[in-house]
Amino acid sequence: MKRIIGFIIAVLVLAGPAASQSDEVLKLKERIIDIQNRSELGFRDFTLCSKILSFSSYVPLDKNVVSKSGQLLVYYEPLNVFTSKKQGLYEVWYSQDMALLKASGETLQEWPDILEFHYTTKTPVMDLYAQNSLDLSGQLAPGAYKFKAVLKDKLSGKTATRVVDFEVR
């Protein structure tokens, strides 16, 4: 019996610092959320790629040039998406429109709400990434174009737009 009590005391003593560190980390995450919620919605690392593996792991194109039979692949990290905290749950909700434009800015095609991310969890979501892809398969004549993304935060009502020039060869 003494061994069991000794074991329980040892576990409680060792678990104490871990619980304290966990609380400290959660407090820091909540401070980050407060800063993000007050900041402007935007895009980080908006990049045309040849390959996307995972968060912050992608192969950028040397030049924004895509084969006319290839695929336009875009990586980005939504910046300062609003996080709601209610009843011990954290909620993040955004959508994204995508559009293909001529070099002049004239819209060729639009895809409203092509992406929607709605996530509710017991722990804060800190790092987000998204990708867009567009199969060109001979759809566009060689020349200059623009890709437009519009990020729409469903909880704050904020929007952000990013446009990147690219060439089809």
- pLDDT tens, residue by residue, 124-141: 988 999 999 999 987 899
For residues 135 and 137, give the distance between their C-alpha atoms in angstroms, rounded to a whole number. Answer: 6
Rounded Cα distance, 19 and 55, in Å? 28
Q: Are 85 and 92 in contact (CB under 8 A)?
A: no
DSSP H helical segments within 53-160, as ranges? none
- How far is the C-alpha of 45 from the C-alpha of 16, rounded, in Å? 39
Host H or E run for residue 9:
helix 2-38
What is the pLDDT, as a whole number, of residue 32? 94
**How far, in Å, CA of 29 to CA of 83, rounded?**
11
For the stretch 29-78, pLDDT in tens is: 999 999 999 999 999 999 999 999 999 999 999 999 999 999 999 999 99
Whole-angstrom Cα distance, residue 40 to residue 146? 24
**Residue 145 and residue 94: Cα distance in Å, rounded?**
26
CB 132 within 8 A of CB 115: yes
Topology (CATH level 3) of domain 41-168:
Immunoglobulin-like (2.60.40)
* pLDDT, tens digit (0-9, with 9 covering 90-100), for 77-109: 999 999 999 999 999 999 999 999 999 999 999
Cβ atoms of residues 120 and 143 within 8 Å:
no
